[in-house]
Amino acid sequence: MKLCSIVFVFGLTAFQFLLPSTIVNAQEATDSCNSTLPLNDLAFDSSLLQCVEGWKLQNYILRYVKTVENTWEFILSAPDSGAYIAIGFSINGRMVDSSAIVGWINSGKGDVKQYLLAGKSPDKVILDQEDIKIVNGSLKIQSVSSRLYMSFQLTAELPRERLLYAMGPAGFFPSSPEFRLMVHQFVTTSTIKYITGPATFGPTMSPSPATTPASGPSLTPSSAYSLSPSLLFFGIGLLALKFY
């Protein structure tokens, strides 16, 4: 009975002291099309922004607006998971031959780069290749309440409607001078209608085992099933109390 009591008390203590911080962090990292955009340096009325859930599984929120003739402003919001975030504009819905805007914050410094994805090998991911026309000086990224907000402007009568969203491996950030990208951890596709708004979604994909980066994060049993460590300990305590 003493063993059962110890396990139960340990689980209850973990539940009380660890779980609240987990909940707070999850709330801070959440965004939706009904949320107020927490950015103050916009050069346009934020109420004009259209909004879509770009990637529901990863809580990527895409806001956009046509500001002037043939100029579009985009703001991609995503959880700050210590990895790069990316949006790609594709001709045919595939990654190859698409143009990607990739952003990250490392040690408090933000970077946003444009890449042409000319092929699947690293040497085919070409930095600063203008496949789509990005307005000079418009690439920005900032972190607010555990979320990344990446913004940019592009020039087009109508931007490409086939979009890709990607998340990089945790802890990896492209570095100067080449800013080489490591293969994404997850990627998904969607189609957006800029005039009507709603988007349709393709499947979420991850790299094949052969291309998964060795430095990518691994899931513990608790996080793999969306359980925090505190909930896991609490459940163990309850089970011990029931069957002892």
> Per residue of the chain (244 residues), what is the pLDDT tens digit?
444 443 333 343 433 433 333 333 434 479 999 999 999 888 888 889 999 999 999 999 999 999 998 999 999 999 999 999 999 999 999 999 999 999 999 999 999 999 999 988 878 999 998 889 999 999 999 999 999 999 999 999 999 999 999 999 999 999 999 999 988 889 999 999 997 655 555 555 544 333 333 333 332 233 333 344 444 444 444 444 444 4
Task: State the chain's maximal CA–CA distance in angstroms.
Answer: 75
Angstrom distance (rounded) from CA 244 to CA 238: 10
CA 216 centroid distance within chain? 15
Q: How far apart are CA 167 and CA 153, in angstroms?
A: 21
Residue boundaries of the structural domains of the chain: 2-27+221-243, 43-205
**Could you tell me if 102 and 76 are in contact, meaning their C-beta atoms sit under 8 angstroms apart?**
no
In Å, how far are 23, 166, 185, 192 from 85, measured between CA atoms? Answer: 23, 6, 10, 19
Q: What is the pTM of this model?
A: 0.71
Domain 43-205 in this protein, CATH class: mainly beta
Alpha-carbon span 35 to 53, nearest angstrom: 12
pLDDT for residue 111: 97
Q: What pLDDT does residue 199 have?
A: 55
Which of these, 104, 95, 118, 43, lies nearest to 76 by C-alpha position? 104
List Cα–Cα distances, 173 to 149, 167, 177, 180, in angstroms: 17, 11, 12, 9
Q: Where are the alpha helices (DSSP H) in the chain?
A: 2-28, 221-224, 229-243
* 146 φ, ψ (degrees, to nearest 5): 65, 25
Look at residue 243 in the predicted model and tell me its pLDDT: 45
pLDDT reported for residue 116: 95
If you ran DSSP here, which 8-state letter would residue 6 be given? H
